[in-house]
Amino acid sequence: MSLIKTVDLQVLGDERGSLVSIESYKNISFEIKRVYYLFDTKSSVSRGFHAHKELKQLVVVVRGSCKFIVDDGLSQESIVLNDPSKGLLIESFLWREMHDFSDDCVIMVLASEHYDENDYIRNYDDFIKYVGSL
Ligand code: TYD
């Protein structure tokens, strides 16, 4: 089974432009408690490098492109996200990294929980121990 789970988001477009709507339990399997977005990311800098114990997230690159690496402790897969009608679902206990941000990259993240630093696993060796003990 692929570690990369993408969701196709319907584009409601007309001559005025495009619109995508995301609703809990309709095109996303969890209740959205938090939204955050990343912008002004530097192409030479990588981000992420953590996993979550509980948190589920849907990531949408609404402008530009970015490479995501998803790792379950056994294998690693990557995807370049460059389409605002495609979401990447990242569930719990998946290590994620973000690389190769385009200069115009804007990433919106819909999250199932409020921000909680205790939910983070920020050390890769700890992550491997965690997934090994599940
Ligand atoms: P961080 O998790 O390090 O970002 P990334 O995984 O994209 O590299 O978050 C950067 C900072 O922002 C860090 O100090 C935690 C803080 N933060 C919040 O306060 N609330 C949030 O919802 C998020 C995602 C981060």
Q: Is the CB of 99 under 6 A from ligand 1?
A: no
pTM of the model: 0.95
Q: Which of 50, 52, 99, 114 is flagged as catalytic?
A: 50
Does residue 47 line the site of ligand 1, with CB under 6 A? yes
* 50 C-alpha to ligand 1 centroid (Å): 11
Q: What is the pLDDT along the chain (134 residues), one digit of tens a residue?
A: 899 999 999 999 899 999 999 999 998 999 999 999 999 999 999 999 999 999 999 999 999 999 999 999 999 999 999 999 999 999 999 999 999 999 999 999 999 999 999 999 999 999 999 998 87
Interval between CA 47 and ligand 1 midpoint (Å): 10
Domains and CATH numbers, the chain: 5-132 (2.60.120.10)
pLDDT at 1: 81
Residue type, 98: M
Ligand 1 pocket member 115 (CB < 6 A): yes
- In angstroms, the CA 2 to CA 24 distance is 23
